[in-house]
């Protein structure tokens, strides 16, 4: 008999038959026990239970929220689900607006539920990646734990799709690459999300995405007693088959959920959909996965294949990890085309033609009964030309010459091999323009008395003219496409190149190495001691010690993450409100401030990686793709800092930190003392910012320390011509830039071969 159930979270009616569903198939939230509105005690690892109602009954009334928790005044409810409710709150100490997640009153009687809630805060606080929602602190008020997080004022990916419909493939890939970046940060710390879905992906004002809600996250290093084999954890529509079956899970669980989220972004639906959650779970473990193109035919076939492989039920056939999936997505997104590609294309074409002529000549020599004549040789080469390009470019996406020079033939928009018909049309037009000379050679030999070699010369002249016609349409505005490519709607693009440098991984790894196992730094006066604690931060050692300022390495006692404790004289200007409010990923995050004896201090979240000078010293200079990413990040931060007047007073490359993923962060303090002729201290903000960019470019690409009074000189590293032009202007060789924004815009036009985001 058909029955109905009302979800207490989204107030939608679910139709079902047989066993009562555990999850809402619309919002994905767990459904409460029809007999009780309290958490289930027999299954602590089941997805968190939310109150629900039966048809005809009123939703359970939620107890009123407290007016304040600690120093946080609760302003309004932002949403609820799972184990808690999220409020917008005002921190009375700092004046900042934050998001505060308070555990539901119904869960406080369950020790397992309380522990899981606390675990969410602790695991999420370990993530300081720019693509993850930042956790400020966790605390407890009258037995009710709460988590204070960065306030995400935008909507989620779920809201975006519900409002605007499915995303374009371009936008969907860009959004999911942000999600992958955030989850990879979690995987590097050996824990998995387990509940990745569009509603847990939050949009920033600039359209970028941050991953949040680690309420079901699981450590792969330390097994929790909260996890039990056979208990389903996650949201049904985006859960992996192994989650549904109650098997052991690993990082590939997040791979499946990311692929399911990408499926949703492209189609507006999860891979398996139905009004009965129990049936949905059954389909996940039994039914074939539908293709994206079955719901949306305009999605490129190559993108569909990436999604389907991520949704493979058999983990051996699924993407091995998020990096593999990320690389596959990057391989679909070509960068902008600039003039240098024309030289590569010409060289590849010459190589292919030489190869074909050599094969044709060798074939004629090897067959004794065929007369070796120029006309026959041309005919042989023309036939090979047609077969060679059609087969190579339709099957592999590139000829031998293009593969050698890092090029590929792709569709008009995507980096995937065109269909046979388009490749055939492309090659026929090319043969018609360039290869028509071969037909002239053949016809002249039979209808005139001119010599073979004269006919060949005429044929080559005609081919040169055809080649000129073929290239006459190439313009930057049409991505340098020839006539044969415009007709066939194809193009040639650089194959993406992604650098795989072995970077310094882990937050604080270099910092501990810098300490060298000592609590005190050389240069500290004899007999000096460090405080054991400053406010809520345990002091682990001294990173810098000078008369003007000191930098101590601290640890947040409640969250276990490292911070810089920047100690300065009382006469030093304090960090202003604008600096304290910065939440950009390219700037170190301010946490707290206070006084300790005769010193004022600021707590700043410790960066990952190490300062740029140390990175170059240990790892060597950067490739262009790496340096471009670093300079792009730094230019964005410096431009923003000039706009909100938060640029540090003294600038040097020692303030630029290289993170484990190659991204840059700007610090307000340096751990090493720079020479005076390399510190930028005076002048307008824009001028100082451009000087820092100049120093960073020279150090990153050439490994040289650029002094302020040094004669301008170009970068010596091998660069694409377009990059050289941009950097020559930065380094003072060409017309200087008027602003950091102008440099940043010019840098964006240079191809890097990597998604730069």
366, two tokens:
């090897």
pLDDT band at residue 442 using 50, 70 and 90 as cut-offs = low
Average pLDDT on 371-399 reads 77
Which tens digits make up the pLDDT trace of 521-552?
Answer: 766 777 778 889 998 899 988 988 888 889 99
Say what the pLDDT of residue 566 is. 94
Question: Under a CB-based contact definition with an 8 Å cutoff, are residues 210 and 186 in contact?
Answer: no
Beta bridge partners of 666: 587, 656
Beta-carbon contacts of residue 45 (< 8 Å; ≥ 6 apart): 226, 227, 228, 231, 233
Which among 180, 194, 308, 316 has a CA at the least distance from the CA of 244? 194
pLDDT band at residue 47 using 50, 70 and 90 as cut-offs = very low
Say what the pLDDT of residue 77 is. 87
CA distances from 542 to 511, 517, 562, 610, 671 (A): 10, 11, 13, 16, 10
In the annotation, is 195 catalytic? yes
Say what the pLDDT of residue 52 is. 36
Say what the pLDDT of residue 337 is. 47
Could you give the angle at the alpha carbon of 656 between the alpha carbons of 757 and 210, nearest 5°?
35
Q: How many helices (H) and strands (E) does the chain have?
A: 23, 23
Q: Phi and psi of 479, rounded to 5°?
A: 65, 35
Burial class (CB in 10 A: 0-12, 13-18, 19+), 654: buried
| Nearest-angstrom CA–CA distance, 128 and 182 | 10
Say what the pLDDT of residue 452 is. 58
Burial class (CB in 10 A: 0-12, 13-18, 19+), 365: exposed
Report the Cα 413 to chain-centroid distance in Å: 21
Question: Under a CB-based contact definition with an 8 Å cutoff, are residues 669 and 662 in contact?
Answer: no
Question: Under a CB-based contact definition with an 8 Å cutoff, are residues 659 and 665 in contact?
Answer: yes
Say what the pLDDT of residue 46 is. 34
Say what the pLDDT of residue 216 is. 56
| Nearest-angstrom CA–CA distance, 215 and 237 | 17
Which tens digits make up the pLDDT trace of 597-618?
Answer: 889 999 999 988 889 998 898 8
Q: Phi and psi of 675, rounded to 5°?
A: -70, 150
Say what the pLDDT of residue 176 is. 95
| Nearest-angstrom CA–CA distance, 698 and 716 | 9
Which among 543, 545, 565, 544 has a CA at the least distance from the CA of 554? 565
Give a three-class secondary structure readout of 699-727: HHHHCCCCCCCCCCCCCCCCCCHHHHHHH
Report the chain's mean pLDDT, rounded to a whole number: 79
Say what the pLDDT of residue 201 is. 92
Which tens digits make up the pLDDT trace of 619-659?
Answer: 889 988 889 989 999 999 999 999 999 999 889 999 999 98
Report the half-sphere exposure of 478 (CA within 13 A, side-chain side). Answer: 16
Burial class (CB in 10 A: 0-12, 13-18, 19+), 86: buried
Question: Under a CB-based contact definition with an 8 Å cutoff, are residues 301 and 261 in contact?
Answer: no
| Nearest-angstrom CA–CA distance, 172 and 88 | 29
393, two tokens:
């470019």
Question: Under a CB-based contact definition with an 8 Å cutoff, are residues 351 and 401 in contact?
Answer: yes
Which residue in 45, 195, 213, 668 is the catalytic one? Answer: 195
Lowest mean pLDDT among 116-125, 152-161, 419-428: 116-125
Question: Under a CB-based contact definition with an 8 Å cutoff, are residues 718 and 702 in contact?
Answer: no
| Nearest-angstrom CA–CA distance, 701 and 728 | 13
| Nearest-angstrom CA–CA distance, 167 and 169 | 6
| 17: pLDDT strictly greater than 60 | no
Which tens digits make up the pLDDT trace of 653-686?
Answer: 999 999 877 889 999 988 876 555 567 777 899 9
**Is the model's pTM score more than 0.85?**
no
Question: Under a CB-based contact definition with an 8 Å cutoff, are residues 658 and 580 in contact?
Answer: no
Q: Phi and psi of 22, rounded to 5°?
A: -95, -25
Average pLDDT on 466-485 reads 83
3-class secondary-structure state, position 231? coil
Say what the pLDDT of residue 506 is. 40
| 211: pLDDT strictly greater than 70 | yes
Which tens digits make up the pLDDT trace of 49-80?
Answer: 333 333 344 445 566 778 898 889 999 988 77
Say what the pLDDT of residue 645 is. 93
Which among 420, 184, 193, 403 has a CA at the least distance from the CA of 301? 420
Say what the pLDDT of residue 735 is. 87
| Nearest-angstrom CA–CA distance, 221 and 172 | 32
Beta-carbon contacts of residue 181 (< 8 Å; ≥ 6 apart): 129, 131, 661, 757
Report the Cα 235 to chain-centroid distance in Å: 24
Beta-carbon contacts of residue 516 (< 8 Å; ≥ 6 apart): none
Domains and CATH numbers, the chain: 1-61 (no CATH), 68-149 (3.30.200.20), 157-330 (1.10.510.10), 340-494 (no CATH), 509-605 (3.30.200.20), 610-748 (1.10.510.10)
Higher local confidence (pLDDT), 262 or 706: 262
Give a three-class secondary structure readout of 542-561: EEEECCCEEEEEEEECCCCC
Say what the pLDDT of residue 675 is. 55
Plot region of 82 (φ>0 → left; ψ -120 to 50 → alpha; else → beta): left
| Nearest-angstrom CA–CA distance, 111 and 44 | 9
Say what the pLDDT of residue 20 is. 57
Average pLDDT on 18-24 reads 54
Could you give the angle at the alpha carbon of 630 between the alpha carbons of 649 and 606, nearest 5°?
60
Lowest mean pLDDT among 231-240, 380-389, 470-479, 487-496: 231-240
Residues across the chain = 757
| 170: pLDDT strictly greater than 50 | yes
Beta bridge partners of 201: 211
Higher local confidence (pLDDT), 589 or 63: 589
Say what the pLDDT of residue 110 is. 81
Which percentage of the chain shows pLDDT scores above 70? 77
Which of 24-33, 312-321, 512-521 is the most confident on average?
Answer: 312-321
Which among 325, 198, 195, 186 has a CA at the least distance from the CA of 255? 325
């Amino acid at each position: 008999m058909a029955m109905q159930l009302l979800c207490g979270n989204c107030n939608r009616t679910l139709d079902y038959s047989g066993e009562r569903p555990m999850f809402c198939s619309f919002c994905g939230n767990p459904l409460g026990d029809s007999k009780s509105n309290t958490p289930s005690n027999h299954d602590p690892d089941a997805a968190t239970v939310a109150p629900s109602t039966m048809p005809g009954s009123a939703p359970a009334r939620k107890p009123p929220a407290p007016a304040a928790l600690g120093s946080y005044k609760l302003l309004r409810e932002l949403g609820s689900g799972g184990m808690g409710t999220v409020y917008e709150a005002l921190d009375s100490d700092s004046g900042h607006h934050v998001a505060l997640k308070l555990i539901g009153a119904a869960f406080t009687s369950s020790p397992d539920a309380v522990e899981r809630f606390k675990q969410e805060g602790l695991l999420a606080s370990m993530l300081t990646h720019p693509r993850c929602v930042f956790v400020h602190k966790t605390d407890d008020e009258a037995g009710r734990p709460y988590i204070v997080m960065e306030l995400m004022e935008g909507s989620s990916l779920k809201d975006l799709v519900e409002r605007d419909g499915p995303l374009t493939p371009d936008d969907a890939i860009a959004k999911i690459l942000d999600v992958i970046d955030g989850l990879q940060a979690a995987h590097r710390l050996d824990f998995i999300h387990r509940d990745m879905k569009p509603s847990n992906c939050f949009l920033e004002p600039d359209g970028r995405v941050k991953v949040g809600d680690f309420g079901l996250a699981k450590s792969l290093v330390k097994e929790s007693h909260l996890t039990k084999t056979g208990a389903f954890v996650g949201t049904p529509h985006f859960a992996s088959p192994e989650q549904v079956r109650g098997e052991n899970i690993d990082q590939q669980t997040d791979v499946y959920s990311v692929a399911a989220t990408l499926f949703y972004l492209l189609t507006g639906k999860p891979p398996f959909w139905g009004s009965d959650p129990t049936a949905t779970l059954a389909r996940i473990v039994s039914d074939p996965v539908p293709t994206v193109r079955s719901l949306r035919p305009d999605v490129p076939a190559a993108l569909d294949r990436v999604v389907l492989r991520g949704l493979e039920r058999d983990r051996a056939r699924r993407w091995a990890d998020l990096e593999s999936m990320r690389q596959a997505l990057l391989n679909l997104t070509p960068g902008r085309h600039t003039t240098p590609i024309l030289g590569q294309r010409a060289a590849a074409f010459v190589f292919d033609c030489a190869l074909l002529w050599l094969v044709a000549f060798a074939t004629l020599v090897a067959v004794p009964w065929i007369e070796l004549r120029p006309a026959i040789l041309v005919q042989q080469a023309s036939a090979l030309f047609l077969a060679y390009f059609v087969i190579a470019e339709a099957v592999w996406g590139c000829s031998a010459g293009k593969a050698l020079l890092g090029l590929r033939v792709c569709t008009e928009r995507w980096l995937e091999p065109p269909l046979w018909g388009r490749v055939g049309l492309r090659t026929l037009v090319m043969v018609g323009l360039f290869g028509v000379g071969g037909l002239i050679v053949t016809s002249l030999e039979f209808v005139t008395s001119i010599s073979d070699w004269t006919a060949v010369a005429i044929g080559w002249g005609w081919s040169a003219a055809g080649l000129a016609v073929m290239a006459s349409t190439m313009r930057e505005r049409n991505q340098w496409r020839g006539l044969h490519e415009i007709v066939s709607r194809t193009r040639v693009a650089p194959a993406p190149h992604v650098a795989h440098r072995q970077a310094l991984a882990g937050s604080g790894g270099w910092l501990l190495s810098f300490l060298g196992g000592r609590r005190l730094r050389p240069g500290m006066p004899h007999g000096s001691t460090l405080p054991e604690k400053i406010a809520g931060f345990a002091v682990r050692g001294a990173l810098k010690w000078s008369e003007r300022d000191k930098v101590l390495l601290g640890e947040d006692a409640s969250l276990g993450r490292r911070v810089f404790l920047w100690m300065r004289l009382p006469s030093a200007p304090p960090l202003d409100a604008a600096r304290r409010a910065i939440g950009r990923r390219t700037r170190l995050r301010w946490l707290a401030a206070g006084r300790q004896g005769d010193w004022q201090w600021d707590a700043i979240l410790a960066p990952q990686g190490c300062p740029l000078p140390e990175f170059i010293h240990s790892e060597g200079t950067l490739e262009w793709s790496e340096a471009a990413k670093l300079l792009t990040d730094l230019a964005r931060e410096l431009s923003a800092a000039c706009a909100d007047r938060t640029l540090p007073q003294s600038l040097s490359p020692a303030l630029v930190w290289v993170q484990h993923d190659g991204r840059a962060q700007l610090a307000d303090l340096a751990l090493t003392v720079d020479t005076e002729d390399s510190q930028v201290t005076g002048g307008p903000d824009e001028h100082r910012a451009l000087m820092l960019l100049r120093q960073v470019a020279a150090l990153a690409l050439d490994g040289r320390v650029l002094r302020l009074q040094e004669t301008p000189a170009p970068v010596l590293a091998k660069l694409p011509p377009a990059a050289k032009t941009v950097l020559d202007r930065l380094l003072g060789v060409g017309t200087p830039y008027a602003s950091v924004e102008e440099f940043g815009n010019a840098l964006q036009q240079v191809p890097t071969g990597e998604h730069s985001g």
